[in-house]
Chain A
């Protein structure tokens, strides 16, 4: 096996803000000479913070899916919709959109929590297996994370539009807040995870 020369072994730091390569000086709190951002060899407490955020997201995932995200009141009926029943309503109108919302709001957050958990555990155990694939998995998680906000925006527009008093009214349920919290927590979890930890034992 070839040994790899890394920034760490050369005493070089990478500025995560401006992507400058900086020689590490023996300072307690080094800053980037170019953009003055704080420099870290690795993000501080990366695995611990990411794990904590993931636990919170996993707990909130339950009420996010069980509590109603939206109330609909009209002359004829009173309805409360969870994310899943919202998908079923969409299924009557247009199935591609229904599939899209199902994937973005139910599948993606769950897969994100699972994928990041796998990454945290494997980085913590310094697993040497399939580093390139795990690195790719992380990049995918980072890329698709924002699309889970889809349902939050759809609900916010429905609330703004359907306010025709006495005829029809749409209200927000607490499930929407839990759901948004899951999305934001997993976005933060992806930010606090330092992907270089996946490679550290290899060098």
Chain B
């Protein structure tokens, strides 16, 4: 008999090899204990590739554009961090850069680097450390919050200037959904199940 321990309250549960329901919750604190991990690695790779394209689109085109007395100005995702840096707020600039640009990029890159060899039953060098890094980065990627933040900025400016949404705002919204799907497809339990299956 194998045992799983609830991550939230340490209660021991009998692990089932084939869970009947999609999610098994702790009987005491109702935290998620086990999930049915039957996703396909190809789906995860496709999601990561899609996210990469959306990420490039999001950074190549302007997010929003304003028109003020005949002068127009557009801002890209990177401009948001750069503007803060130019004003001497390096710490804030880094925070915005990491959570909106570097975080998603690393998340996509690490996923592709680990999953493509794993698909051919091989393990990428540095796999364990990189997957641990990936689970950390996921906690610091706030694309969905940034989306809402740009809407707030647009509403604030709408009284003073003519505002237009750019291509990037839409690709960013899709990126947010793709990253969320990618995260559920490559949950730690699922990832390690693929790794164990790749071992002879």
Using a CB–CB distance below 8 Å, which chain A residues touch chain B?
A: 4-10, 12-14, 16-21, 34-37, 86, 89-90, 92-94, 97, 100-101, 131-132, 135-136, 139, 146-147, 149-164, 167-168, 171-172, 176-177, 180, 184, 187, 191, 195-196, 198-200, 203
Contacts and interface: CB of A to CB of B under 8 A. Distances in A.
8 contacts: A7-B10, A131-B29, A150-B148, A154-B153, A156-B80, A167-B71, A198-B9, A199-B9
A192 B91 CA distance: 22
B8 A4 contact: no
A136 B132 CA distance: 26
Interface string B112-140: 00000000000000001101100100010
Interface residues of B, number: 64
A97, A156, A159 — which one has the most chain B CB atoms within 10 A of its CB?
A: A156
B192 A20 contact: yes
A35 B132 contact: yes
Interface centre among B15, B69, B188 (most CB of A within 10 A): B188
Contacts of B158: 93
Contacts of A172: 84, 87, 89, 92
A177 B92 contact: yes
A171 B145 CA distance: 22
B73 to A, nearest CB: 6
A36 B158 CA distance: 52
Given A18-B192, A135-B31, A149-B142, A36 B128 contact: yes
